[in-house]
Amino acid sequence: MNVLLLGASGRIGRRIAAELLDRDHAVTGVSRSGEVGGVDDPDFTAVAGDATDPDDVARLAADHDAVGSALGPGADADPEVLVDMMDAVVEGLRRASVDRLVWTGGAGGLEVAPGTRLIETADFPDEWRPVAEAAIEAHDDVLSEVDDLAWTYLAPAALIEPGDRTGEYRTAEGELVADEDGESYISMEDFAVAFADVLEDDEGVHEYLGVGY
């Protein structure tokens, strides 16, 4: 597959790029600067682009089979930029006639019990709230309304950190995945495995999927 990966320079994006390249896909990795450190592969091309600009997304997405996103607002931007990015990416894919989108989303909108989202729980950290709210808005108000693209909104567990690639993970539609002790965790490497599987196998189309152990 020929994949355009938005956010390839990010912590999760670099690991998704590595996983896709290991599986012999060709990856065009986007960052604002055009620099993507730490990815060295003949099938990888780093390019510059602005994911808030639908024209830029359309230009970059042309001639790709699918678009992946590990976009994040970064430390300095207003988290609401995630909603602008979602709008621009959806519009850019339409203009480029690319049908498949897998988006790295947030766990905050996943249910921990019927009718209760993670963000509504008492222990949800205040410092995560602004980006979690923006990620929910990007899904609920933009992506979930889209039926002309084959999108998947793939959300990590409550905690995602650099770790081991075990190849193991579980997914659940709309639900936070936690282990038998109630811990919700996934390594970035195993999240990348799930991301690549979902992309390759066309799993989870029009679903908000949680990933964890």
Ligand X SMILES: NC(=O)c1ccc[n+]([C@@H]2O[C@H](COP(=O)([O-])OP(=O)(O)OC[C@H]3O[C@@H](n4cnc5c(N)ncnc54)[C@H](OP(=O)(O)O)[C@@H]3O)[C@@H](O)[C@H]2O)c1
* Binding stretches for ligand X (CB under 6 A): 6-13, 30-33, 49-52, 70-72, 74, 104, 106-107, 131, 135, 155-156, 158, 160
Alpha-carbon distance of 77 to 69, in angstroms, equals 17
Nearest to ligand X of 76, 180 (CB atom): 76
The least distance separating ligand X from the CB of residue 100, rounded to whole angstroms, comes to: 19
As measured in angstroms, the least distance from the Cβ of 109 to ligand X is 9
CA gap 58, 76 in Å, rounded: 26
| Nearest CB to ligand X, comparing residues 101 and 107 | 107
Q: Which is nearer to ligand X, 104 or 152 (CB)?
A: 104
Return the number of the residue (12 or 66) whose C-beta is nearest ligand X. 12
Residue 94 beta carbon to ligand X: minimum distance, rounded to whole angstroms: 18
Q: Are strands 159-161 and 185-187 parallel, antiparallel or unpaired?
A: parallel
DSSP, res 36: -
Element (H, E) at 59: helix 54-61
Nearest CB to ligand X, comparing residues 106 and 148: 106
Shortest distance (Å) from residue 147 CB to ligand X = 23
**Shortest-Cβ-distance residue relative to ligand X:** 10
The owner of tokens 């992946």 is 68
Cβ at position 74, least distance to ligand X in Å: 5
Residue (126 or 148) nearer to ligand X, CB: 126
| Separation CA 93–CA 89 (nearest Å) | 6
Q: How many CB atoms lie within 10 A of CB 82?
A: 29
Contact 79, 131 (CB under 8 A): yes
**Are the C-beta atoms of 5 and 30 separated by less than 8 Å?**
yes
* Min CB(42)–ligand X separation in Å: 21
Residues 6+ apart with CB under 8 A from 135: 79, 82, 105, 106, 108, 109, 155
In angstroms, the CA 137 to CA 1 distance is 30
